[in-house]
A and B are shown apart, each in its own frame.
Chain A
Amino acid sequence: MTGAVRAGHAAPHARRRAGVGLLALPLLIMLAVIYVCPVGALLADSFTDPVPGLQQYRRLIEHPVYLEVLARTFRLAVIVTMATAAIGFPVAHYLTIARPAVARIALGLLFVPFWASTVVRTYALMVILGRTGILNGALLWAGIIFRPAQFLFHTATVQLAMIQILLPFFVLPVYAALRSIDASLLQAADGLGAPPWQVFRRIYLPLSLPGLFAGALIVFVFCFGFFITPALLGGRRDITIAMLIMAQFEGQLDWGFGAALSTLLLGCTLVGVLVMLRLGRKQALLF
């Protein structure tokens, strides 16, 4: 009897769930058409263009410059991700404890840069940091320097610009994660004898780690494939793997090698993501 009643209830429920699944169908079709198929074709190109074989990958390994660019891109991504986390975490925490009205304004300010594209924001930085830019003008006027200084085309400038561009991508998921931490847990720890920094170390930080890793992952993935900002603001040494790929497709018209580099980038990113997910899961239980 009970079983029959349950089954009667379960059937429409299951049907409804299947219906909800259909809602994802347009997205799945779109992803298949404009993402999975082209990327698959590109991967295939790396093994078939101009002739079938592994020659493109052999070339990758034979010339150390390509792997060096990859390593440099990796280092850039790690530095920017860590710096973004160090700057973004306090911001996200502040948003959770600020009065709601203040938090809303702060969130708004954080997202104003989103309204301009990365290209525009990067050019804006060039306007500020250029030889005849606002910063040089101000420093000359104030008499701090007597000749225009070169702020552009340094690795540090690229890093700074990338941090500035990627910060919201980090702050938002972390803010959401921090907000979901039950305040009574912090109170309980306090009441059980934990001074503030112990509450932070043993309760707040471990509980915020999943969010921290999510934010860091997003930033890292963006960094690894970053193109515009390093291309415009960086010096000759700040070549990223994405710029190298661009050069193969646009300049050299060497689609096979470009595809091989793309495959390398995709593979490295996937490995990075998997490692960070692993770490994130382990860290949460470590404390």
Chain B
Amino acid sequence: MSASLVLDRVSRFYPDGTHAVRSLSLSVPPGRIVTMLGPSGSGKTTTLKMIAGFDQPNSGSIFLAGRDISCIPPHARNIGMVFQTYALFPHMTVFENVAFPLRMRRRSRREIEAAVHEALALVHLDGVASRLPRQLSGGQQQRVALARAIVFRPPLLLMDEPLGALDRQLRKSVQSELKRLQRQLDLTIVYVTHDQEEAMFLSDEIAIVQNGAIVQCGPPEALYDAPASMFVAGFLGESNFIGGILAEAAADQALVTLPGGRQLQGKSAAPMLAGQAVSIMIRPEKLQVHAASSTIETGINLLHGRIDLVNFLGGAIEYEIDIDAARLTARVYLRASATAFAIGDPVVLQMAPEDCLVFAAP
């Protein structure tokens, strides 16, 4: 039922020569959710439109289940799509909206009746079949759009920021629903969003898109733990950056001198030259905060600082800490053993060398 999707060096440029998408390759295995995550204007929606057939690539090919679909018009591609604005037909009832793709496929009346009600039941909307879209809430409209996109069991489902218009609470529950549906129906989904939390929550794989190209693609955990560039590190999850000069580099080990003269050990993904400007990236939860008086003083990778702000997050506390070279954010999950600090407290920050990722400074 669900099919694989392969984009092979797809490019789209405009008459003035600017690229919306440049030589983008992406492979989506059947039954997976792959998210294209990137800032607005990065080319992710253009890519989605080319997969759907609303836009044509200038070069490259698109394969669905191994078949080149680049030259097939949208209505013959058999791909489901959920639009950011839902694009529900305002003059049709919910039932007729969901029945539309089946009518276009000339299914029998009984078949349509059964399939529509099944699809509406899947999204918990069976009670509103006879209403018009404008009589529904935003969340309900979103689910009608989803039901309409899956009712004909397309081998591929495209979703263009489908939850963007929903409030945070609703978004969370729809995300869970979507994950459940995806597993239940074994859907292949290409999802587009600029919301990194949503991407991590939903995806089997995330493709980070920047300036029309994929800069890194992989499972969310891999991208979070080992971002390939400062852009990916900054875009996916929260991160601290400390600037410095590379003192020594050997294999993937790096020693960085900070402006104050202190040195930190870290890990580098790409080979770099001693003496070049670098940035150390560390996630807030990887920073360990100790009281300044503690006995940890003798360890490696220590930084002295002072608590500048304390933000209570519920399950965790976030400390904003001033060190000589920068301002860092540390997140401490609340446990019985955790010491609480107050604004102005001197602290020592400890970080494991494998958590400090060193990138060439831009």
Contacts and interface: CB of A to CB of B under 8 A. Distances in A.
Contacts of A184: 83, 85, 87
B104 A188 contact: no
B91 A195 contact: no
Contact of A191 (B81, B90, B105): B81
B75 A195 contact: yes
A228 interface: no
A272 interface: no
A206 B54 CA distance: 22
Nearest to A203: B89
A285 interface: yes
A189 B91 contact: no
B189 interface: no
Nearest to A284: B91
Contact of A198 (B53, B91, B104, B149): B104
Nearest to A199: B75
B234 interface: no
Main secondary structure of the interface of A (DSSP, over half): helix
B23 interface: no
B4 to A, nearest CB: 20
Given A184-B83, A198-B104, A191 B89 contact: no
A283 to B, nearest CB: 10
A194 B91 contact: no
Contact of B105 (A185, A187, A193): A193
Interface string A249-261: 0000000000000
Nearest to B53: A191
Given A184-B83, A184-B85, A187-B54, A192 B91 contact: no
A146 B157 CA distance: 70
Interface string A183-212: 011011111111110100011001100000
A193 B74 CA distance: 7
Contacts, number: 65
A285 B93 CA distance: 9
Contacts of B105: 193
Contacts of B52: 191
Interface residues of A, number: 21
B83 A287 contact: no
B257 to A, nearest CB: 54
Contacts of B91: 206-207, 284-285, 287
A188 B86 CA distance: 9
Given A194-B100, A195-B75, A189 B89 contact: yes
The residue in B81, B90, B91, B92 that gathers the most chain A C-beta atoms within 10 A of its C-beta is B91
A93 B76 CA distance: 25
Interface string B130-169: 0000000000000000001100100000000000000000
B223 interface: no
Given A207-B91, A284-B91, A285-B91, A191 B74 contact: yes
A112 B79 CA distance: 47
A62 interface: no
Interface of B: 52-54, 73-81, 83, 85, 87, 89-92, 100-101, 104-105, 148-149, 152
Given A188-B83, A207-B90, A287-B91, 11 more contacts: A187-B54, A187-B74, A188-B81, A190-B74, A191-B52, A191-B74, A193-B78, A194-B75, A194-B100, A194-B104, A203-B89
22 contacts: A182-B85, A184-B85, A184-B87, A185-B87, A188-B81, A188-B83, A188-B89, A189-B89, A189-B100, A190-B75, A191-B74, A191-B77, A191-B80, A192-B101, A192-B104, A193-B78, A193-B101, A193-B104, A194-B75, A202-B100, A207-B91, A287-B92
